[in-house]
Structure 1
Amino acid sequence: MTVATIETHRRRLLLVATLLLAVGLVLTIRLVQWQVLEHEQMRALAEAQHSTKIEISPRRGTIRDRNGRVLAISLRNDQVIGDPDFFKAQMPKAKDYIISTAATILDMTPGDLRARLESGEGHYLKLKNSIPITASKKLNDAGLSPAIVIERQDRRVYPSGALLAHTLGFINSRGEGVGIEGSYNQQLSGVPGFKLFEGENYGQGLGNVPSITPAQDGADITLTVDLNIQYMAERELERALAAEKTLTGTIVIMNPKTGEILAMAGRPTFDPNQYDNVPVSVYNNPVISAAWEPGSIVKILTMAAALDTGKISPRSTFVDRGSMTYHHMIITNMDKKANGTITPAQILQYSSNVGIVQVADVLSTTAFYTYMRANFGIGSRTGIDLPFEVEGSIRLPGDPGWNPVDLATHSYGQGMAVTPIQMTTAVAAIANKGIMMRPHVVAGVQGGLESPEGPGPLRRVVKSETAATLTDMLVSVVETTVTQARVPGYRLAGKTGTALIPPPEGTYSPDETIASFIGYGPAEDPRFVILVRIDRPQVHQTGADVAAPVFRNIAQWLLAYLKIPPSDQQTRR
């Protein structure tokens, strides 16, 4: 062999070795990529080729009122699902049994049923969209699974329609929701189960029985709301809006001792069965999201703070000449009348702006805002167990734009904003001997807590003696000047509000108001607090003429419904 020949062989061997090394290096890189970098992806791909997983939907929890009446329920809708791959893998006699049994139950011809299963592919073929529960039971009892099975697809139904719509809310197809359906979606939804089919030879002796992980149904929820009280509240709200030729308003009814919401109604509203028929803005619950300048009902809180600090007493007197100058601003009474020398009770009876500004001035700026913000929670969320609660607002000393005149206007509820739930919760604390309870609409969740923080007392806002004194003053309001709120035989406490609506620019217009009344009773042992708010009434303007009669109608009905004896009988006990 010549030197040239040896050199040629050496070069060829070197080339082959280089090629083998390159191939080995490529294989090594790919193995590292598959086994390390793309491990999870490769595993998922292998599992997908090896098995088929079908989700089993859980039953969504039912929502009921405090008396067990259904407010939201998922109605059963059974679909019939076939497994073509499993069916085609069976012996002829097994196929004949499946077809003859199922065709009779499903009211199908054997030929049609067989043709659909033989021509189908995979493990999932919808044979019927819906069948009666009796047929569903027969099919389950026939033991045809997994060739033909029942798949449950629930449909959410709200039996009372638009009643309590804002509180209940809904969940859309994307899993987005409002109301209880939204805030408690995780508890209501449950946990899906799965049916796992293994292997290409499925049905031929290898993995012929699917592995099933059962679904965990959602928890049922009980609300504090009483459907009868809710109906009454919504009926009275509709009547008031019609009488005043306006469109928006709110009613809240709370148990002051527990913070339980017995009813909350708002207009405009919607039917959660057909929620997509209205603008999205209608979904907002006005009880927790529609802040407004409340007007004179805030005088309750101003008076409570002054009495509680001892800066005034029930025997204190103030001079009301109908108007006054406070830090270069002229303060006038709504009715322009001068009331002369008046007591704190008379300030509330006459709803004297001039009088309450003097009370706030005696109280001091620091004490006033401490009580408003820290004690009564104005400008803070109440923590109610519903989504999208807003804070409201009150400008504090030190905030941009605050000036001493704010103390005057805030004392009678202008220049600040509260939500209906904030105002109801604050006044409910007066009714509950000075203790504020957390407002809540959920009484219980099957296997869980009532609300994220749990219901219960939040804090003491005034002394019990202060609450008792103020209650007597508010009873005098109903008995003397706001007789539209009276219910014969019962001592009810309350206060009107006639608030001007702040314009986008310029000054307040005297032609547009928000009329309100908040009250509770019976005064000796309050069982309910009612807030009525009617926006932009067109026939009357004041809280006494517009909202107080609505309070009276609801209170009179509630006293009978709750079987509360007249006040003189309670006093004799």
Structure 2
Amino acid sequence: MNIKKSILIRVRAAFLGIMIFAICVAAKIGHIQVVDGAKWEKLSEEIHFDYKKVKATRGNIYSDNGSLLATSLPFYKVAIDPTLAKPEVFRAGVDSLSFLLSRYYKDRSAAEYKQLLKDARTAGKQYLVINRKQINYQAKKEMMNWPIFRDGRYRGGVIFEKIDVRYRPFSNLSRRTVGFVNEDGQGAGLEYSFDDVLGGQDGEALFQKIAGGTWKPIFDGNNTKAINGLDIHTTIDINLQDVAETSLYRAMEKHNADDGTV
């Protein structure tokens, strides 16, 4: 009888303990949802990850003799995660980096750039756009040798975000024939007709939404690399086209015409 009573007491004690634990869990969940709900909701908005499209580099369009009619030139937006550099690396390089940034962009003094970088680092800001001005590939190569930047993406925190800009070396020559494609996928000419070939296959990369609604690229092993577009070679004789269009423009000016065809 004593053994049964002892077992019964233990069972009741265990049951009571489970009930108390369940009540505590329920109370904590209720506290989080009701009292701290706004706080955690705001935090979830600030720390948000999502896969976004990465545009493939568009293919080139060539004339019959291999001259470029349309190509994509790479430009870059320069940003930095100032929290990644080690303290000794940041201290040793921030003065020289600030001087070089000031000399290149000419919009702030070296002291102002230094303060901008230091303030962002102190505040724990993980994504700081250095300047809204986009740089070309040669400038990027130069900057990659600058203090802090030379330590790369993971140790120096520098971020070069690539932006392709469509460029026609012959300007308005064969402009209508070469054509265009806008952001909505509408267009004209070769660019539009061969959009599937030239456009390639876009990739995907992980981005983190940080304070202010800015999306910061995260270099993740699951990113899908974009497949660049193919080139197309046309039968357009650029020299003949130049002669024909020049003659047409002269005739239009002579006769004060609004339009003309060859």
Provide the TM-score with structure 1 as the length reference.
0.30
CA 132–163 in structure 1, closer or farther in 2 if over 3 Å, else same: closer
Q: Distance in 2 between matches of 1:67 and 1:54?
A: 39
CA 245–138 in structure 1, closer or farther in 2 if over 3 Å, else same: closer
- CA drift of 1:121 comes to 4.4
1:145 aligns with 2:149: no
Partner of 1:319: none
1:192 aligns with 2:202: yes
CA 111–229 in structure 1, closer or farther in 2 if over 3 Å, else same: same
1:169 aligns with 2:171: no
Partner of 1:220: 231
Could you list the per-position Cα deviations for residues 123-149 of structure 1 after superposition, in whole angstroms to 9, with x for gaps in the alignment? Answer: x43222223534411444513204212
Partner of 1:131: 135
Partner of 2:168: 158
Q: Distance in 2 between matches of 1:114 and 1:233?
A: 59
Report the 3-state secondary structure (helix = DSSP H, G, I; strand = E; otherwise coil) of the residue aligned with 2:170: coil
Q: Is the 8 A contact 1:197 1:210 kept in 2?
A: no
Provide the TM-score with structure 2 as the length reference.
0.59
Partner of 1:237: 248
Q: Is the 8 A contact 2:181 2:187 kept in 1?
A: yes
CA 100–243 in structure 1, closer or farther in 2 if over 3 Å, else same: closer
Q: Is the 8 A contact 1:167 1:179 kept in 2?
A: yes
| Bigger relative contact order (CA 8 A; separation at least 6) | 2
Could you list the per-position Cα deviations for residues 140-186 of structure 1 after superposition, in whole angstroms to 9, with x for gaps in the alignment? Answer: 45132042121121222223232212211112233321111111222
Q: Distance in 1 between matches of 2:91 and 2:58?
A: 37
CA 190–139 in structure 1, closer or farther in 2 if over 3 Å, else same: farther
CA 183–114 in structure 1, closer or farther in 2 if over 3 Å, else same: farther
CA 175–99 in structure 1, closer or farther in 2 if over 3 Å, else same: farther
- CA drift of 1:57 comes to 3.4
Of the candidates 91, 116, 119, which is equivalent to residue 112 of structure 1?
A: 116
Q: Distance in 1 between matches of 2:90 and 2:197?
A: 42
Partner of 2:73: 75
Gap regions ≥5 residues in structure 2: 1-43, 103-109, 211-217
Q: Distance in 1 between matches of 2:199 and 2:191?
A: 9
Partner of 1:93: 88
Of the candidates 56, 59, 64, which is equivalent to residue 58 of structure 1?
A: 56
Q: Is the 8 A contact 1:140 1:150 kept in 2?
A: no
Letter in 2 for 1:176: Q
Q: Is the 8 A contact 2:205 2:219 kept in 1?
A: no
Letter in 1 for 2:49: S
Report the 3-state secondary structure (helix = DSSP H, G, I; strand = E; otherwise coil) of the residue aligned with 2:134: strand
CA 135–250 in structure 1, closer or farther in 2 if over 3 Å, else same: closer
Could you list the per-position Cα deviations for residues 216-250 of structure 1 after superposition, in whole angstroms to 9, with x for gaps in the alignment? Answer: 22222221101001112223333444555544432
Q: Distance in 1 between matches of 2:167 and 2:219?
A: 35
Q: Is the 8 A contact 2:83 2:124 kept in 1?
A: no
Could you list the per-position Cα deviations for residues 81-138 of structure 1 after superposition, in whole angstroms to 9, with x for gaps in the alignment? Answer: 223xxx436642354367457435534533322324544745x432222235344114
Matches within 5 A, 1:28-427: 51-53=49-51, 55-83=53-81, 87-88=82-83, 91-96=86-91, 99=94, 102-103=97-98, 105-107=100-102, 108=110, 109-119=113-123, 121=125, 124-128=127-131, 129-140=133-144, 142-146=150-154, 147-196=157-206, 210-211=220-221, 212-242=223-253, 246-251=257-262
- CA drift of 1:65 comes to 0.8
Could you list the per-position Cα deviations for residues 198-223 of structure 1 after superposition, in whole angstroms to 9, with x for gaps in the alignment? Answer: 8x9xxxxxxx9633543322222221
Q: Distance in 1 between matches of 2:57 and 2:97?
A: 26
Percent identity of equivalent pairs: 29
- CA drift of 1:190 comes to 2.5
CA 244–52 in structure 1, closer or farther in 2 if over 3 Å, else same: closer
CA 95–53 in structure 1, closer or farther in 2 if over 3 Å, else same: farther
Letter in 2 for 1:137: K
- CA drift of 1:66 comes to 1.0
Gap regions ≥5 residues in structure 1: 1-45, 201-207, 252-573
Q: Is the 8 A contact 2:53 2:204 kept in 1?
A: yes
Report the 3-state secondary structure (helix = DSSP H, G, I; strand = E; otherwise coil) of the residue aligned with 2:197: helix
Q: Is the 8 A contact 1:77 1:152 kept in 2?
A: yes
Q: Is the 8 A contact 1:76 1:155 kept in 2?
A: yes
CA 216–247 in structure 1, closer or farther in 2 if over 3 Å, else same: same
Letter in 2 for 1:127: I
Report the 3-state secondary structure (helix = DSSP H, G, I; strand = E; otherwise coil) of the residue aligned with 1:150: strand
CA 54–110 in structure 1, closer or farther in 2 if over 3 Å, else same: farther
Q: Distance in 2 between matches of 1:114 and 1:88?
A: 10
